[in-house]
Amino acid sequence: MTSLRHRIQAAAAVAALAIGALTACSGGGGGSANGPIEYWLWDSAQQPGYQKCADAFQQQNPGLKIHISQYGWDAYWSKLTAGFIADTAPDVFTDHLSKFAQYVDLKVLRPLDDLGPTSDISDGDYQQGLAELWKGQDGKRYGAPKDWDTIAIFYNNAALKAAGVDPSALQNLTWNPTDGGTFEKLVAHLTIDTKGRRGDEAGFDKAHVKTHGLASEGSGGGGWGQTQWSAFAGSAGWEATDKNPWGSRFNLDKPELQDTLSWYFGLVRKGYMPSYEEIGGANAVGTDKQIQSGTAALGLSGSWMISTFTKLTDAAGKKLDIGLAPTPIGPSGKRASMFNGLADSVTTLSKQPENAAKWVKFLSGAECQNIIGQSGVVFPARPAGTNLAIAYNKNERKLDVTPFTQQVKDKTTFLFPVTTNAADIAALMAPRFDAVYIGSSPISSLNKLNNQLNDLFKVAQ
């Protein structure tokens, strides 16, 4: 059997070939020097807002045109990777922290400090900590902040009402890995089997569940459990790496995580959370669809999903009454949420990097961020844009988004792990966490996974 070290060396060779291909075709990509600035994003809900930004930019910069392309999440990254090799990558694209480090390593991103329009981007213009995330180990900036997100609980008010639960009870839930605290008690009560018995009632049949108390979005192995277990692990005092960003030692073997996961995936065995098979395996049906269909009463998800949840309707076409609650308070005595952010990056293949940088500067500037804030789709990186998004949700959707924003104010957030070797890490983590979710591997199998992740960095050295 091929050793891990040999597999990593082979992967490194492939990466080297990719870099060679990129070097051979440098000077291409991003359309023509006189053509439109090509901009890619993956969120269809954000495209209308960014088209408004493009219209404003074009009006202020006669002769410059923006062409926006939107692709679904999976297609987006595969197309982008192919574009870097085949010389068809855009001038500017929406970047994610899980991808950015590897793109820096492959030298396909231009340092924004070296481009005139973006050379003076200031960290202090954005929510605290966001801008610093997009600096490489060389200290250079490779992304201009565009938005941020946290995690909260979405719930169906009708399900709570039917269970006799006051929504205010969700504001101060607690959890622990021993008995699940008041959070597990709520989830159990909201779970209903096919004969109408609740999870906390005698005779409950965990093998035949109609409505699970808690939705699931899979094992979380491909994204550090962002919308699955990260809020629980974070509130237990766990951190993914020895430092963030640019950690190289992992903590998957720590009891704070393993005890958390033992409890979390244990909810499946109790019938309170759907199994791997019930949600569709690796192609998991999202929390929004589970709540909409009535197969779940509540679930954790990100602030980028607000507009999706508030548009949900029942089978009769009636709009669902969706509410929000903060993540539960954990063993640390505090609640927690992963804090993530997106940015816009300029590719090395762009034939008009200075013009591309003008567009990136506009995207990260006050005017565009306010336009996005007024759309209420996400929380823009600038505080003023965030305030506009809060107001939009309050006035237009009648939705209090405090469960997302309060964690930033209270500093109970922790950063999405930023490391090199990100693609290799995800490739190793996803199947192992799936196996734990399914129940075919014990929690202790994460010890071996932890050693494999650490070995990635030993090989790199």
Q: What is the mean pLDDT of residues 18-44?
A: 67
Decide the pairing of beta strands 151-156 and 296-302.
antiparallel
Instruction: Using alpha carbons, select from 345, 307, 375, 266 the residue that is nearest to residue 80.
Output: 345
Count the residues in the chain: 461
Fold of 151-338+420-455: D-Maltodextrin-Binding Protein; domain 2 (3.40.190)
Which H/E stretch holds residue 156?
strand 151-156
First to last CA, the chain: 24
What pLDDT, on a 0 to 100 scale, did the predictor assign at position 103?
Answer: 93
What pLDDT, on a 0 to 100 scale, did the predictor assign at position 283?
Answer: 74
Angle between helices 383-395 and 366-375 (to 10 degrees): 20
Band (pLDDT 50/70/90 cuts) for residue 188 is very high
What pLDDT, on a 0 to 100 scale, did the predictor assign at position 31?
Answer: 58
Q: Is the pLDDT of residue 206 over 50?
A: yes
C-alpha 64, offset from chain centre? 32
Q: Which residues lie below 8 Å from residue 175, measured CB to CB, with a gap of 6+?
A: 181, 182, 183, 184, 232, 235, 263, 328, 329, 330
Which H/E stretch holds residue 269?
helix 255-269
- Alpha-carbon distance 51 to 43, whole Å? 12
Q: What backbone phi and psi angles, to 5 degrees, belong to 28?
A: -105, -160
Q: Angle CA(378)–CA(327)–CA(412) in degrees, nearest 5?
A: 80
Q: Which residues lie below 8 Å from residue 179, measured CB to CB, with a gap of 6+?
A: none
What pLDDT, on a 0 to 100 scale, did the predictor assign at position 74?
Answer: 87
Q: Is the pLDDT of residue 58 over 70?
A: yes
With contact defined as beta carbons under 8 Å apart, do 84 and 22 qualify?
yes
**SS (HEC) of 291-355:** HHHCCEEEEEEEHHHHHHHCCCECCCCCECCEEEECCCECCCCCCCEEEEEEEEEEECCCCCHHH
Q: Is the pLDDT of residue 224 over 60?
A: yes
- Alpha-carbon distance 59 to 7, whole Å? 51
Q: Is the pLDDT of residue 9 over 50?
A: no
CB atoms within 10 A of CB 172: 12
Burial zone of 24 (CB within 10 Å; 0-12 exposed, 13-18 middle, 19+ buried): exposed
Dump pLDDT digits (tens) for 66-122. 999 999 998 999 999 999 999 999 999 999 998 998 899 899 999 999 999 999 999
With contact defined as beta carbons under 8 Å apart, do 143 and 134 qualify?
yes
What pLDDT, on a 0 to 100 scale, did the predictor assign at position 29?
Answer: 53
Decide the pairing of beta strands 66-70 and 37-41.
parallel
Cis ω before 245 (30° cut-off from 0) = yes
Angle between helices 73-86 and 4-24 (to 10 degrees): 60
| pLDDT, greater one: 91 or 6 | 91
Residue 278 one-letter amino acid: E
Beta bridge partners of 380: 147
Q: Is the pLDDT of residue 162 over 60?
A: yes
Burial zone of 59 (CB within 10 Å; 0-12 exposed, 13-18 middle, 19+ buried): exposed
Domain ranges of the chain: 151-338+420-455
Helix count (H) and strand count (E) of the chain?
16, 12
Query: Which range is least confidently modeled, 19-23, 46-50, 99-103, 239-243?
Result: 19-23
Q: Which residues lie below 8 Å from residue 105, measured CB to CB, with a gap of 6+?
A: 15, 420
- Alpha-carbon distance 300 to 451, whole Å? 30
In the predicted model, what is the mean pLDDT of the chain?
Answer: 92
Q: What is the mean pLDDT of residues 196-203?
A: 98
| Residue where the block lists tokens 């409505």 | 211
Dump pLDDT digits (tens) for 290-328. 999 999 999 999 999 999 999 999 999 999 999 999 999
